[in-house]
Amino acid sequence: MHSRTTIERTQHGVGQGGFHTCRIRKEVPYNRKDDEKKATYEYVFDCGTRSVGPGNKSLKDFLSQHIGNYRPANNIVDALFISHLDIDHYHGAQMLCGAKSVSRIFLPYFTIDQIVFLIADQASNDVVLAPDYINDLLAIAAGRRRLFGVPVTVVGGGESPENIDPPSPAQERDERLQAVVIRKNGQVQPLSGNLPSGTDIALRTSLEQLPWVLRPWSYKQSSAALQAMSSAIDKIPALKGIQTHAGTVSKAHIDALNVKANKTAIRKACSTIIKDAQGTYAGNHNTPSLSLYSGPPGHDRSNYRFRYIERGVINRSLNRDPVGWITTGDCLMNNHWADFRACFADVLTHVGTYVLPHHGSVNNHSQEFIDAIPGQLALICARHGSEDHPSKTVLNCLYEVDDHIQIVNEYSTRGVKEIVHLQHLAD
């Protein structure tokens, strides 16, 4: 019989934010009559928005509608990747975890000091984070890997073989594809609480491993930047109080920031800590933003055939593009391109669809990134009518390389849906 794997992915129209869902389904023969069953892996990349919905629907109701319309197989989300901790990328995550059965959350590596500055930065922009959420983040930074009751893997930390969670009941079911880590030496291991950037996550059944990987990457702050943050916190008593009470932060600690009176000082502290000679601010929470590649592995894949069944755009010539997909969250690509390229060098030629960083902002733009992608479908997640997202400079660069631009805003009711089939040539 012919064994086939289907990858169905959708960039949802949430406007200024991010919500991407993907279902990877393998048809698995299981008896002599050539009947088959399907093993599935579902993942989500980001879940948030700053946009109200059509008809002035409230932000919460708009996001809730998208989450409600998303129906993963067996109501299980095997992995939720949160690129970073800006509200337009994560604030639907808890809602998603309450509505679906989420098996694991992936976050970029961060320290306690970075979370302290996140609290200050968000507060200075009139965003007050709940104490329970703050304490969860501080606990994760301290090594206790759970968020909203879900096991967490931090991307960009060191190895932690001792921090391996037992498989969840969902992972042990026959209808789920198993996610495993492929080390540089080819060794296969279970997922743990820490995952070095650039590690391949492979999917497999009891009989075979799929020729498809997920590869996350996160930029790690320099030791100089972390030291600068620590020194700045020491000079602001209210921030020092949050750092000292990590794990037991209360509303009183947040109120002690006295944001209205100290907003200018807090913003100055956040914006004047220089990460390195490149001038990236350590207070900029886009710096550790997670990126994710989903597609064929970098090694030989000549025994498989990959093709688009649906591309999400009218232009049929784009069906000749490679089938891989890569998203960049709010990565500061202009500063971190060299590190990004080093991580994804062997798979960039497999990318047909790419999501531009930070909603097409010029501050995150890298011409080298655009030039390195052979595929021609460029997705930009942005609010309808925004002047800066996407930037005209970024759009002009895309026009020059003749890429197809799809702006996915809050009025994109279907989003951009793509379906890829892969088949073993021996079948």
Domains defined along the chain, listed by start: 4-109+156-221+282-424 (3.60.15.10)
CA 45 to mean position of chain CA atoms: 4
The answer to whether the beta carbons of residues 101 and 44 sit under 8 Å apart is no
CA 49/CA 11 separation, integer angstroms: 13
CA distance 310 to 417: 7
- CA separation (Å) from 189 to 138, 143, 179, 192, 395? 27, 20, 9, 9, 42
pLDDT, residue 273, reads 53
Block means of pLDDT (10 residues each) for the chain, length 427 residues?
83 93 84 66 95 88 93 96 88 94 94 82 73 87 90 80 52 79 82 91 89 92 76 79 82 73 66 49 63 91 87 88 95 90 96 95 93 95 89 93 93 94 80
pLDDT at 276: 46
Task: Answer for the pair 186, 123: CB distance below 8 angstroms, yes or no.
Answer: no
Predicted pLDDT of residue 395: 94
- List % helix, strand, coil for the chain (3-state, nearest 5): 30, 30, 40
Q: Give residue 8's pLDDT.
A: 97
Residue given tokens 């109501």 in the structure block: 75
- From the number of C-beta atoms within 10 Å of its C-beta (0-12, 13-18, 19+), residue 182 rates as middle
Residue 290 CA to residue 368 CA, distance in Å, equals 19
Query: What is the model's pLDDT at position 347?
Result: 96
What is the reported pLDDT for 28? 65
H-helix or E-strand spanning residue 97: helix 93-99
Q: Each residue of 277-313: b (16+ CB within 10 Å) or e?
A: eeebbbbbbbbbbbbbbbbbbbeeeeebebebeebbb
Model pLDDT, residue 106: 96
Report yes or no on whether pTM surpasses 0.75: yes
pLDDT at position 160: 52
What's the pLDDT score for residue 47?
Answer: 95
